[in-house]
A and B are shown apart, each in its own frame.
Chain A
């Protein structure tokens, strides 16, 4: 349980990131009950956000802690295998500081 991000903080970052992507024109699927449709599983894991704009796909995972690595590894695989997919691993702190890696264009 060491080194894990509190659930509330994690969920807040997912909300902020999803709303940001929505505001810059992405079609967003996110793990936010009641507001967005949940993303599909990718190699057995459900990412926090999958967003699409045209032919560009963005997979976003907000870090929760040390136990993330098998999921991150599975998500990164799709970036290696599909040229149209980009995977962003962000910390809640990144989101708080408005560091939108991979999605900063409007």
Chain B
């Protein structure tokens, strides 16, 4: 009986519209290199074949360090992958039993779509390379980097302290986390097809374009006056004569992505939630009726997995295995997380009169998001302060959004959006970044994320619809959208 219902839903008209839209997005660029890139050790037309030169790189002096750095980046990528497991369990735990399959399915889609789209266009849009106007350049697929015979350089320290492949994998894991932030906020009432399209476009284009403004070498890295290596302002005449800036006075600083990952995701989530509306029955005339999560153990497991993964998220963002840097960054990360949890526990006990587990869990995350922008620039002592303030902010933010009737089942908007902003500002207060630069970066990325997501959600609302029907919501998305139960006894 339920299978028939599911099949009818899947074969219903909206699904085909979604499939067409999805296919159109995936194939909307034409890049001939898609099927033609030669492997790096293909025989070249000249005597010094790439394989030989790479072999000699492996015998060179710096190789041991390179291998260590590269290995760390790969391990960090695996740790960030664990964050997807964390998100899946956290979101399931904080939502109702009847929507568990739906949440897990969305999480499966996010990582699979995230990595593939990052391969297809994401990586090269995020990191456009030299020929970049600072704002937007749509990239081609990954293997574009190997179209020239000298491309073995991408596997050596000529590229970075790690290979091109490690760079891709590490960053690909980050990309999908932007969509997963949204999935928690829109859970329990979003239409699956609408979410899949929104997540794909958001990750493939929105996240990568916003990220390119900072990590891709875009305009946010060039705010303020050009400075030379000693920190002196370079005169305009010298710039015109071709002098290169070493840094900029108001450059935006976001070490591991408090803004370009977390605030981006948080504000994209806010926009989608505003278009979507709250869950049925949450906000009534007689006040807020909480819709309780079905598994606190799953939620707690999720948060601890996220904490573990964050060692890779921040530790890997050092982009080398430099002992001082990665150890210090892991310390600031851990201190901020723990301070965040303590602060949330304390604040929630005072404000709510009872120690709330879900607030304590969000406190860890708030602290982690808060330190992400400045894990390398903020001292361990001040990272405790940064994390604690984030932990306090998140409690008030969650309650405030509920009062404003913005329904966020997992607190994603507060943890990632609001604490992401705080974390970025903290680098100006405690880490020496320019306050002007930080504010400009926060505003540009958050506003872009919000507008991009809002427009996307509106388009989806007027085409395939963004919300399930009231009956589907009451029955549970597991039965309505998937024809399956998470816990069939």
The answer to whether A binds B is: no
